[in-house]
Amino acid sequence: MKNLEIDIETYSSVSLQKCGVYKYTESPDFEILLFGYSVDGSPVTTVDLACGEEIPEEVIDALTDDTVTKWAFNAQFERVCLSRYLSERGVSLDPFHDNHPLSTECARFLNPESWKCSMVWSAYMGLPLSLEGVGAVLGLEKQKLTEGKDLIRYFSVPCNPTKANGGRTRNLPEHDPEKWARYKAYNIRDVETEMQIQEKLVKFPVPDAIWDEYHIDQEINDRGIRVDMPFVKQAIAIDEISRERLTTEMKELTDLDNPNSVAQMKSWLSDNGLETETLGKKVVAALIDETDGDVSEALSLRQQLAKSSVKKYLAMENAACSDDRCRGMFQFYGANRTGRFAGRLVQLQNLPQNHMTDLAEARALVRDGNIEALDLLYDDVPDTLSQLIRTAFVPAEGKKFYVADFSAIEARVIAWFAGEEWRTKVFVDGGDIYCASASQMFKVPVEKHGVNGHLRQKGKIAELALGYGGSTGALKAMGALDMGLDEEELQPLVNAWRQSNPNIVRFWWDVDSAVKKVIRNKEPQVVKGVKFFYQSGMLFITLPSGRTLAYVKPRMGENRFGGESVTYEGVGGTKKWERIESYGPKFVENIVQATSRDILMYAMKTLRCCSIVAHVHDELIVEADPSMSLEVLCQQMGRVPPWAEGLILRADGYVCDFYMKD
């Protein structure tokens, strides 16, 4: 046996969507109902575990044999569920000798190194992340059966007790044998669909290096990150009390039935002499400063209510396993085009920042449930809870968090690609890119908190908004007007930035030209070490790392301005499969962000011996003994990959007793 293709159907009263697969399998009523499999491409068999059938011993042995490759679509689900199943059968996972990197740590799951995921393969090819979506795009002969959702709802989740069903809370096979037969057929079809995906993509194998990255990702997901549950529970309780108080104050002040209602609030404001089209966060913040009396107070109360961050705390409570660790928070290749990670469950990628100087003190008050002291010391309890969200993540007993991240990684990468020498010199000298950019743009020295320091903000906003072809609209989207810039300043700012970065601008349009030539003539092109080529109806971009980005069915089209543009198929802003328009600077954004992702992965490989518990954008969080050297960690993280000669990298870090932004 070389390959084992697997798909399972399961039951648990725990919500998979809210809690993730690790918590899902901890439920006492968790069970695997159906085990569909194929050995080395043979016809698919389904084992009806719910009705007493047994998985053959040779298949059980294969699950713990690292020489047999296990395949599944979203393989993490099958691997974690089968880990629990094997434990339930009385088989200890420790004697498997499957060389799992986490064998000495608190959790025990089947070794990910002998698992491969056809969802990752699909993502690598720029295809959808759902089995149904991939089947449709590839036009498979045997596609996922559409009735699956109804069958899953019937057999795999609890049902509501009714008179008609005798008050039961779960549907079993005997309650509808005909539906159960269809569920078995559905299980078989899923395996067949997964096998057909691999047949379709066989010409484009995922490189071994990417599978190695996937296995590192699975190790991090298996390890999880600890949550301070007493703190989380108190934060949820305080938030509830705070919301009740604020709502009561709002009702007393406005005499409204539901002061959270936008319509009711706008009507009340209108009656009190204030007309506003929207009650968005930015508008409310501005109106608070422009008004006074009851109107200003009502808007302030509304702002505090809108800041309520209980959802993040609830997500932690939902996802935390029995050992208080949240697992499964990262999706490998979750971001289309670039292959960057996507956040799941708690969504670490979009946590509120913390600006409080007394985080530890505020955190201690919340942990003690001391809402009176919080009210006394902090004007805005919801804002305080919001800033404390990061601090809910804590290292294991006797350990500390070592947090290290790359400094201005995308700015460094784009300068390296484009050969923008003045920028590279800034990084070599350890300078501030925002000051240097402002200095280059305005032809005067700029120092942070020093000479012409007011120009640094303009340099910063230009750097963040204009690197990928952005213009005045990008500056506005980045908040330029909110930061005090005038409308008439924006276009000159765009012009100044582009004039200061001619090589980056040239790089945009060289990439644009290369992509168009490849699509038109089907001949490969190379720009700054990046290779562009066309094969089997796909546009491929090979990065210096050797990793390839894929764009489905590219063709030339016309943009909304009547000019020439490139389009391809992919998951767009609507989260649906659609035709997406692109051009040089956008492809450069993909290339730079994808390369930044590869640099982060290189750092993860370098630091694989460390216990990486989480990563956020360009930042790694390591759980380690207090004796570990932060300096050495940052040195190792800042190592330049062999394929990126000449790139200037720098990693900075700090040590903490709870997660925070330094």
SS (H, E, C) 8-74: EEEECCCCHHHHHHHHHCCCCCCEEEEEEEEECCCCCEEEEHHHCCCCCHHHHHHHCCCCCEEEECC
The mean per-residue pLDDT over the stretch 124-135 comes to 91
- Percentage above 90 pLDDT, the chain: 66
* Structure confidence by residue, pLDDT tens digits, 434-448: 899 889 888 899 888
What is the mean predicted confidence (pLDDT) over 11-15? 97
Whole-angstrom Cα distance, residue 77 to residue 73?
Answer: 9
In 3D space, the residue among 79, 85, 108 whose CA is nearest the CA of residue 95 turns out to be 108
Given a cut of 90, whether residue 161 has pLDDT beyond it is yes
Give the pLDDT confidence of 474-501 residue by residue, as tens digits.
988 888 887 777 888 889 889 989 999 9
Rounded Cα–Cα distance for residues 317 and 327 (Å): 12
Helices (H), 397-455: 409-418, 421-428, 433-442
User: Which tens digits make up the pLDDT trace of 293-317?
Assistant: 888 888 888 888 777 667 899 999 9
- Look at residue 513 and tell me whether its pLDDT is greater than 90: yes
Residue 599 CB neighbours (<10 A): 24
Terminal-residue alpha carbon distance, the chain:
51
DSSP letters for 451-503 = TTGGGHHHHHHHHHHHTTS--HHHHHHTTTTTTT--HHHHHHHHHHHHHH-HH
At 33 the pLDDT is 98
Residue ranges of alpha helices (H) inside 308-347 are 310-319
CB 116 within 8 A of CB 211: yes
- What one-character DSSP code corresponds to residue 447? -
Compute the average pLDDT of residues 598-621.
Answer: 95
Q: How far is CA 629 from CA 418, 492, 611, in A?
A: 35, 47, 14
Mean pLDDT, rounded, for 383-407: 95
Return the pLDDT at 89.
80
If DSSP states are collapsed to H, E and C, what string results for 593-608? HHHHHHHHHHHHHHCC
Judged by DSSP in three states, 658 sits in: coil
- Rounded to 5 degrees, φ, ψ at 620 are -115, 140
Averaged pLDDT of the chain:
91
User: Residue 171's CB: how many other CB atoms inside 10 A?
Assistant: 19
Q: In sequence order, what are the beta bridge partners of 568?
A: 580
CB 630 within 8 A of CB 651: no
Residue 650: how many CB atoms within 10 A of its CB?
16
| 103, pLDDT greater than 70 | no
Rg of the chain, C-alpha, whole Å: 27
User: Quick one: pLDDT band at residue 573, thresholds 50, 70, 90?
Assistant: confident
**Which band of pLDDT confidence, cut at 50, 70 and 90, is reported for residue 511?**
very high
How confident is the model over 403-427, as a mean pLDDT?
Answer: 94
Q: Whole-angstrom Cα distance, residue 448 to residue 432? A: 8
> What does the pLDDT read at residue 107?
53
Strand duo 225-226 + 115-117: pairing? unpaired
Q: Provide the pLDDT for residue 280.
A: 81
Q: Give the burial class of 284: count Cβ atoms within 10 A of its Cβ; 0-12 exposed, 13-18 middle, 19 or more buried.
A: middle
d(CA 338, CA 565): 20
- For 364, residues 6+ apart whose C-beta sits below 8 A from its C-beta are none
In Å, what is the CA distance from 226 to each residue of 211, 218, 230, 393, 583? 27, 17, 12, 6, 43
Mean pLDDT of 355-384: 92
State residue 93's pLDDT score. Answer: 53
pLDDT band (50, 70, 90) for residue 158: very high
d(CA 551, CA 519): 11
Beta strands in 298-378 (DSSP E): 325-326, 330-331, 342-343
* pLDDT above 80: residue 185: yes
Q: What is the pLDDT of residue 90?
A: 65
Burial class of residue 370, CB neighbours in 10 A (0-12, 13-18, 19+): middle
For residues 617-636, one letter each, b for 16 or more C-beta atoms within 10 angstroms of the residue's C-beta and e for the rest, the string is ebbbbbbbeeebebeebbeb
Under 8 Å between Cβ of 99 and 304: no
Q: How confident is residue 336, by pLDDT bands cut at 50, 70 and 90?
A: confident
Tokens at 332, concatenated:
């490998």
Answer whether residue 363 shows pLDDT above 70. Answer: yes
Res. 557 pLDDT band, cuts 50 70 90: confident
- Identify the CA nearest to 180 among candidates 88, 77, 46, 84: 46
Q: What is the pLDDT of residue 92?
A: 54
Q: Dihedral of CA 128/133/135/136: which sign?
A: negative
Domains (ranges, CATH) in the chain? 3-206 (3.30.420.10), 229-392 (no CATH), 421-500 (no CATH)
- Nearest Cα to 126, choosing from 579, 614, 479? 579
Contact between 461 and 479 (Cβ < 8 Å) = yes
For residue range 21-75, what is the model confidence (pLDDT) as tens digits?
999 999 999 999 999 999 999 999 999 999 999 999 999 999 988 899 999 999 9
Q: Is the pLDDT of residue 227 over 70?
A: yes
pLDDT value, residue 91: 60
3-state secondary structure 191-244: HHHHHHHHHHCCCCCCCHHHHHHHHHHHHHHHHCEEECHHHHHHHHHHHHHHHH
Average pLDDT on 636-656 reads 96
- pLDDT category at 262 given cuts 50, 70, 90 is confident
The answer to whether 515 and 527 are in contact (CB under 8 A) is no
Residue 181 has pLDDT above 90, yes or no: yes
Percentages helix, strand, coil for the chain (3-state, rounded to 5) are 50, 15, 35
- Dihedral pair phi/psi, residue 50, rounded to 5°: -65, -30
CB 621 within 8 A of CB 226: no
